[in-house]
Structure 1
Amino acid sequence: MSTLTPREIVAELDKYVVGQEQAKRMVAVAVRNRWRRQRLSPELRDEVAPKNIIMMGPTGVGKTEIARRLARLSGAPFIKVEATKFTEVGYVGRDVESMVRDLMEVGIKMVRDEENARVKAAAESAAESRLLDLLLPGSFGGDRDSTREKLRQQFRLGFMDDKEVEMEVVEQPGQTIDMFAIPGMEQMGSQVKDMFSKAFPPKRSRRKMTVRAAFNVLVQEESAKLVDQEALTERARERVEQMGIIFIDEIDKVASSSQNRTSDISREGVQRDLLPIVEGSVVNTKHGMVRTDHILFIAAGAFHFSKPSDMIPELQGRFPLRVELQALGKDEFLRILTEPDNALTKQYEALLGTEQIKLSFSPDGLEEIASFAEQINAETENIGARRLYTIMEKILADISFDAPDMPGAQLMINRDYVREHLADVVEDQDLSRYIL
């Protein structure tokens, strides 16, 4: 579990998300509380429940990015789901319990990767011995041992990677029609497949492949032998139950206001189905029973046509912490273009650098882009920082198209260049609604 302090978590989030200090502080405290809870006595630890969060704010202000970066920092099993994908029990579609099953799969993969990294050296050593047996079959002897060592050195230096070797591999089942590809039936489908895999062991066949490919296959086989699958599953379940984070996006779309009632009667049903999972219940997965009592739920939504109080009262009580993210203006857009480690300007400079083009942005050019983004968001729909994607693509469309034909060019994107490439769109209001 991450030992970062709230201040350190906020500092890390600042590298990728501009502004929204209140939201960052709230999620940083929530993650730190997981760490604090693990250090309590077992009796008190079970009593401390996570304080679930609702993030409110227009699209494109950083709600999803905050949650995604937070999960990476904490090293916790994390999954992002859209509330609109789920339906009430009894309707065709995904039931809300599938989010816990998906989180369990994420936890299994995370722990398996850690275990494979732990046994990597031993698995590679065993795989290397098996590979040398394939390359040099026959009885033992002095000459054979010296030849084997020479082969070992040549393999380690990479001289044999492209040579071919014949080995026995497990046959992968061919593409078949999935009878259980119906939404909501995935769990039954996986159980049936597991049952058949145990009843009919996989076939093995001999196949030719390169030495490097054969080594990778053997490493996987040896890793599987060295890892205790039952212990792996138990560790993954423990991590999911104690540290898991589920980010439920578009939560406002299942909350209907009195002015926005629709014929979609399953909206309130989805909220009712969410109640036991967020409150704490047991969900049956193919890896065993998973308790959701201590999973942290972060919900997010724009809440343009509804508000948190439009959710059913029981669900409101399950999300005691509320934070509102602010809409972005020119100053924030300018910071987004320059400060983050993954800023759009840095991405375009690197992309065009692959064509031997030196692209740079002048300060007045960046200010003009930020100003245009604020203006278009005010005149049309406010889509937040995503507006910068459309504006940048429009400005750099010609350069991106002609880039392969002008290697070595040095280009500066200044205010005049930005105005020139956006003039026709900005002047025509109708056109700007379609293009930007």
Structure 2
Amino acid sequence: MTSPHSVPGPSRATEIARLELARLAPSEPLDAVFRRACELCADALTVERVGVWLFIDNGGALRCANLFERSKKEHSAGTMLRVADFPAYFTSISIRKAVPAEVAGTEPWTAELAARYLRPLGIGSILDAGIFVDGELVGVLCHEHVGLPREWTTEARDFVGSMADLLALRIQSAEVRELRAAFLTQDERSVAHEKAAALEQLAAGVAHDFRNLLTVFLGYGGLLARRDDLPHDARKQAKDIVTAAEQGTALAKGLLEFAHPQTAPPAVLDLGAVAAEFMPVLKAAIGSKYKIQYTQPDELGQVFIEKGQFTRLLLNLAVNASEAMPAGGLVAIRLAPVKLTGNPSYLGRFVLLEVTDTGSGIDAETQRRMFDPYFTTKSKGTGLGLAIVRRIVDRVGGLIRVESSESKGTTFRVFFPRVGASTGGTALFPILPPQPGAEPA
């Protein structure tokens, strides 16, 4: 194993960085403070990746408020780390002021991040400092060194601790409006979070009891269907009961999966490679009446998401598009790197997934409710397909928009926050406001 090497900490550079951050005007917006802090830390310590991460959802997750990649001069935001996925890491940062990991892949508190986050991004060492406000941990200032393991000097540790303290002071003095944007604590998001939790709890209870009842129908229906002494019509009716009960059991299973999804922790992925690999499955799922037109550039950047969650989202959107064209048609799927403009909570670089159909379009009332669990306009629909899409998007810190015109078709756009920069071109993309009731933003 390569032993950690020490990178001398330039005293003059760290002192200049501290002074510059401290002297930023009180009127400077909080997102601009985070942006400048990341740049100053990266330059002072010669670190490739520096990010400010803030706790959201009642402390259940860290959301990247700003990530700066020094060699590419790029900023991004939005990636999520959930406490339940990486418990050892979150325990360590809650009890220590500055947490160094000189060989990040083997340190006990970062080992669970090694295969899913550190190695795919080439990160050899980490130096994190907690951001504490009134004794409460509200975020983390994270330094990610790309390359060979690195020894963090005492000066470097003191420096990142002091920069985290300066950020804590800015958070304390920020206006309520800025804090809501930074910590995503808008009333709409809080209400949606509570509503989703209540629906999931209700779904679990109903599905459990419903499945137990259906077991009786399946058992006795199957016995009746196999009895030769019953009239043919009676046996057929019994088979119909079994078929209906099997469909109900599948629905109950879907409800339980919605209420308690069993997913692995996320990992750094190239969505282009995953989508290309999944394309044969997608074509088989929507059927031969439909043609898939799939496009992507050579470089997208990387996204932090569990592979099965992304393919399920893609499948749900493609099936939804095909169902909008009963006679068949074209399903266009596109991936592209974009930089969003127009919404302070989502400024940064994302990977865009577009799924477009040429169906009859979606009316305004349906657009308002289509992400609600159990809402469906289909005779055999469960109302869970788009609700699952929405939940996956929320879990990764992304957002979703829908553009539809009656008789012209519909485009679903999902924006995944990038955790690794693209070496290709990134197009500016003005983000539209959400449909009323469709998404907190």
Greater RCO (Cα-Cα under 8 Å, separation 6 or more): 1
Structure of larger gyration radius? 1
Higher helix share: 1
